[in-house]
Amino acid sequence: MSDGFPALGRIIGVFMLSVPERPMFTSLIKKPCTVLLCALLGLSACSSNDYKASADRESYAAIAGKASQVPGMTDAVVIDEPRRVDLSGFPVNNASFEFLDAEADSELGARIIGLNAALDLAFQHAREYQNQKERLYLEALSLTFDRYRYTPTFAAGAGAEYQWDAEDQFVQDMQALTGMRPVSTVETVDAGTSLGARYLLKGGGAIALNLTSNLTRFLTGDLDEVSSSALIGSFTQPLLRDFGSAVETEALMQAERDLLYQLRDFTRYRKEFAVRIASIYYSVLLARETARNNYAGLNANNLSLEREQAFQQEGLRTLLQVGRLEQSALQADLRWTSSITRYKRSLDDFKILLGLSASDNIMLDDNEMQLISETGMASPDIDLEQAIQLAVQTRLDLYTELDRVQDAARRIDVAANALLPALDFSFVAAVPDSPDNSLAELDFENAVYSAGLNLELPLDTKAERNDYRRALIDYEAASRNYLLAQDSVVLEVVDAWRRMNEARKSYDISLTSVQINERRVEEAELRAELGLGDIQDTVDSQNDLTAARTELISSIVDHNTAKLEFWRDVGLLYVDDSGQWEEGVDEPR
């Protein structure tokens, strides 16, 4: 129940207690106010929920009605969903990871989140995703009002006024001074109701009907009171300016198309969001693998350092040589510590992106990295020219830019129409009340009819002229934006293609680099154990091996991400309501 109505009841109650105790006032004011207050309280108890449910029904129906026009769009768009996140169904980690140093035990008891589970969590609980759904809903909600304008609308009202003269101190003093008889108090009541209906026509016209009645006789019961009623109907139709559905319904047309554009944007966003979740998921795993590799490199450096320090004690190594290895170990330790910090920070940021709280303890599934490694580095089975042609044919944002050119062309016609003279036809019928002053009767025999034309010459059209010129410029800008969007789509596809090739070549190079540096490390270790090694060779080979292993994993992640972005930019990535995707699927238009 609304908080405003109890306050209103208190105000009315105080007002009724403070008015003069006149029988006429009491019967006409206190009883109707009590009835009105009860009606308002009863209405407030259910109206808020009813209004919300009505808005949801219309808005969701508008979304569902246009969802079929957007490939890949779902009609399962519901806002105000429960926001509680339940992680109890996910497996629990019981291992402690030494390569995380001080954070080794931080993931004990953490819930292990796979990629599919992360996508589902994001599509159910991510705050950013919820914002996008609300934007879509609000666009549909706005459309419901534009549609409502072209349905019959009704209005009803009632009012009553009670008047009496004030017996102030000045009047009493004058009566005592002059000996005049007391001046009687004059009381009057005026009350009336009105009921109206209005219907806007899509051709520019409007039909209106209004019924008014004076209710004084009903309230007082005095048949000598004057009663009046009237029924007035009117029809207006522009003949030049604002004539025709193309002009009159432009706002409705644009609202319909704006909802379609928002649906396309939402569908495009779902694809981008799914790819971004996957990309960040793999990036977090990459940060974790980097920390693991740096820890392995640090251990290798420390083993070499212990050996070289033993040689130094035997006089086989100089302080300068051992110092070089000590410095390398310190740098490796710093890289390891920094990589742990980057990993934990990226994991925390990812939790917030999924819609989890900062206190939720999760870790990502290491098996996901193994899965994308096993898929290999194969590129999509499609050549670049075909990909570009498909992107131009399927990209929803490109269709929107083309439709915006059509919108701009329509606005030129609307602006040109505003430069015309205003010539309006009107027809009015007024039916008065009955001559014998009977209650609730109208005299249709004495109805008055009138018809006419109203002409307004366009002598002051500076604003309309500017709007017309602006519409022409907007059309040219929309045309350029469409051509720019075409080029941007082509470049996005080409860029994703290039990044796939780059990642694949980086993988080949890193794989070879790992093999080379493993042999270098083995040889450096053998030579060092024989006392023939060079400290710099040991340092360089171990650092290069660590970097090559990290780069190898990075190239796998980059290739997988670039491939997802390629399918997204081509327009052939379908994403369902849980964020799961299918690559290379061409949804029917």
Identify the CATH number of the domain in which residue 561 sits.
1.20.1600.10
Asked, for residue 588, whether it belongs to a domain, the answer is no
Whether residues 558 and 495 share a domain: the answer is: yes
**DSSP H helix total and E strand total for the chain:** 15, 10
What is the residue-averaged pLDDT of the chain? 83
pLDDT at site 13:
42
Whether residues 540 and 472 share a domain: the answer is: yes
Asked, for residue 300, whether it belongs to a domain, the answer is yes
Whether residues 130 and 163 share a domain: the answer is: no
The CA distances from residue 267 to 347, 396, 542, in Å, are 27, 8, 48
Whether residues 89 and 115 share a domain: the answer is: yes
The model's pLDDT over 515-574, given as tens digits with 9 standing for 90+, comes to 998 898 888 878 777 766 677 777 888 889 999 999 999 999 999 999 999 999 999 888
Checking if the pLDDT of 343 tops 50, the result is yes
Whether residues 429 and 398 share a domain: the answer is: no
Structure tokens at 329: 């170990």
Whether residues 449 and 578 share a domain: the answer is: no
pLDDT tier at 171 (50, 70, 90 boundaries)? low
Asked, for residue 406, whether it belongs to a domain, the answer is yes
> When comparing pLDDT for 325 and 467, which is higher?
467
Domains in the chain, number: 3
Whether residues 266 and 373 share a domain: the answer is: yes
Report the pLDDT averaged over residues 430-448.
74
* Highest mean pLDDT: which range of 36-40, 148-152, 482-486: 482-486
The model's pLDDT over 112-166, given as tens digits with 9 standing for 90+, comes to 999 999 999 999 999 999 999 999 999 999 999 999 999 999 988 888 777 666 5
pLDDT tier at 7 (50, 70, 90 boundaries)? very low
Asked, for residue 220, whether it belongs to a domain, the answer is yes
Whether residues 80 and 113 share a domain: the answer is: yes
pLDDT at site 437:
56
Q: In this structure, are strands 362-364 and 111-113 parallel, antiparallel, or unpaired?
A: parallel
Contacts (Cβ under 8 Å, ≥6 apart) of 165: 183, 185, 186
Whether residues 308 and 236 share a domain: the answer is: no
Whether residues 170 and 138 share a domain: the answer is: no
**Residue after which a domain boundary falls, among 24, 43, 67:** 67
Asked, for residue 589, whether it belongs to a domain, the answer is no
**Residue after which a domain boundary falls, among 47, 67, 87:** 67
Whether residues 347 and 476 share a domain: the answer is: yes
List the domain range (segments joined by +) for residue 31.
1-67
Checking if the pLDDT of 168 tops 80, the result is no
Structure tokens at 559: 């290739």
The model's pLDDT over 271-322, given as tens digits with 9 standing for 90+, comes to 999 999 999 999 999 999 999 999 999 998 888 888 878 877 877 777 887 8
Whether residues 427 and 573 share a domain: the answer is: no
DSSP label at 28?
I
Asked, for residue 468, whether it belongs to a domain, the answer is yes
pLDDT tier at 40 (50, 70, 90 boundaries)? very low
Asked, for residue 127, whether it belongs to a domain, the answer is yes
- With b meaning 16 or more CB within 10 Å and e meaning fewer, what string describes 25-34? beebbbeeee
Q: 3-state DSSP helix/strand/coil percent for the chain, to nearest 5?
A: 60, 15, 25
**Residue after which a domain boundary falls, among 67, 101, 122:** 67
Structure tokens at 285: 């795993």
DSSP result, 225-272: S---EEEEEEEEEESSTT-SHHHHTHHHHHHHHHHHHHHHHHHHHHHH
Q: Is 153 helix (H, G, I), strand (E, B) or coil?
A: strand
